[in-house]
């Protein structure tokens, strides 16, 4: 696969619950955990989505409905043609004794990470949270692969009622965690960072920004303070990369490139 757009039919769709679906295509590319593909719906737009799993002959992305594009994704049917280019970006590194923290649809890139860690026989614990039960996607897969899997939901429909950060320090201590991976809302990264920076634990976060080219040309996804182009030097950034970033958890560029 390359940065040139090609079209592929949707092979299968799983509906996790209202507004959350996984889409399957023929495996058109390799990808490592954390990398993303740009998906094009003709006449609508092109948006980045993490590769959430790879099988021998299939590639999966998982989408939550927010606005126009993801709303249109929800209307796709098996056999519909979708443009895909990629994979793009830099993925996660593989570490032992890690904690995987996923918030909402941020769980998507962690599903492929969990597979890659377990295939390497690395020990890891999962801590997954979302607004409600069906948004904790593929929870059984995480339960099977992790040495322990903690779940929280905002409404208490699965696991403990609350946020993934509520018991974070206790879990890190109890599970003897040496490294943290996270993907989810940016406010979650801010809180995790605040809690674990004093412990000196290293981490990698999978960030999101409005992207256009996906290949480092347009500058749309550049992070203030650092000059990091998230589509090339990210979307996975570590604690050292993040030291220079001045916009974590703050308003950032809109579709026009303007800061909002």
Task: State the nearest-atom distance from the C-beta of 111 to ligand FAD, in Å.
Answer: 10
Separation CA 235–CA 189 (nearest Å) = 13
Secondary structure string (H, E, C) spanning the chain: CCCCCEEEECCEEEEEECCEEEEEEECCCCCCCCCEEEEEECCCEEEEEEEEEECCCEEEEEEECCCHHHHHHHCCCCCCEEEEEEEECECCCCCCCEEEEEEHHHHHHHHHHHHHHHHCCCCEEEEEEECCHHHCCCHHHHHHHCCEEEEEECCCCCCEECCCCCCHHHHHHHCCCCEEEEECCHHHHHHHHHHHHHHCCEEEEECCCCCCCCCCCCCCCEECCCCEEHHHHCEEEEHHHHHCCCCCCCCCECCCCCEC
Residues numbered 79-108 forming contacts with ligand FAD, rule: CB under 6 A: 105, 108
Task: Kindly tell me which residue out of 22, 29, 70, 146 binds ligand FAD, with binding defined by CB under 6 A.
Answer: 70
With CB under 6 A as the contact rule, which of the stretches 8-16, 47-55, 160-168, 238-246 interacts with ligand FAD? 47-55
The pair of three-digit structure tokens given for residue 12, joined into one six-digit string:
């299968």
Q: Which does 142 bind (CB under 5 to 8 A by kind): ligand FES, ligand FAD, none?
A: none
Nearest distance from residue 138's CB to ligand FES, in Å?
28
Binding mask 151-190 for ligand FAD (x = CB under 6 A): ----------------------------------x-----
Least distance from C-beta 210 to ligand FAD, angstroms?
Answer: 7
The pair of three-digit structure tokens given for residue 6, joined into one six-digit string? 């090609």
Q: How far is the CB of 155 from ligand FAD (least distance, A)?
A: 17
Closest CB 49 distance from ligand FAD, rounded Å? 4
Nearer to ligand FAD, 171 or 210 (CB): 210
Residue 249 sits in the site that holds ligand FAD (CB under 6 A): no
Question: Under the criterion CB under 6 A, does residue 146 sit at the interface with ligand FAD?
Answer: no
What residues make contact with ligand FES under the rule CB under 6 A?
Answer: 211-214, 216-221, 229, 231
Using the minimum distance from each CB to ligand FAD, give the nearer residue, 125 or 221: 221
Residue among 16, 29, 40, 47 that touches ligand FAD (CB under 6 A): 47
Give the span between the Cα atoms of 42 and 187, in whole angstroms.
Answer: 32
Contact partner at residue 201 from ligand FES, ligand FAD, none, CB < 5 to 8 Å by partner kind: none
């Amino acid at each position: 696969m390359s940065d040139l757009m090609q079209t592929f039919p949707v092979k299968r769709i799983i509906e996790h619950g209202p507004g959350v679906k996984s889409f399957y295509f023929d495996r058109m590319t390799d990808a490592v955990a954390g990398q993303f593909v740009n998906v094009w719906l003709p006449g609508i737009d092109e948006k980045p989505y993490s590769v959430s799993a790879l099988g021998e002959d299939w590639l999966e992305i998982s989408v939550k409905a927010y606005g126009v594009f993801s709303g249109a994704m929800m209307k796709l049917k098996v056999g519909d043609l979708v443009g895909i280019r990629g994979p793009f970006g830099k993925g996660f590194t593989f570490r032992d004794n890690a904690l995987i923290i996923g918030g909402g649809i941020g769980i998507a890139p962690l599903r492929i990470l969990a597979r890659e860690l377990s295939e390497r026989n690395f020990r890891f614990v999962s801590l997954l949270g979302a607004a409600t039960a069906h948004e904790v996607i593929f929870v059984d897969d995480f339960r099977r692969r992790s040495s322990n899997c903690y779940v929280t939901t905002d409404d208490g429909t699965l696991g403990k009622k609350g946020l993934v950060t509520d018991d974070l320090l206790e879990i890190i201590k109890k599970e003897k965690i040496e490294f943290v991976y996270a993907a989810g809302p940016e406010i979650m990264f801010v809180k995790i960072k605040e809690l674990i920076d004093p412990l000196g634990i290293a981490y990698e976060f999978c960030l999101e920004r409005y992207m256009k080219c996906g290949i480092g040309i347009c500058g749309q996804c550049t992070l203030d303070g650092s000059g990091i182009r998230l589509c090339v030097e990210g979307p996975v950034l570590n604690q050292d990369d993040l030291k220079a970033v001045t916009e974590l958890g703050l308003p950032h560029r809109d579709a026009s490139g303007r800061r909002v």
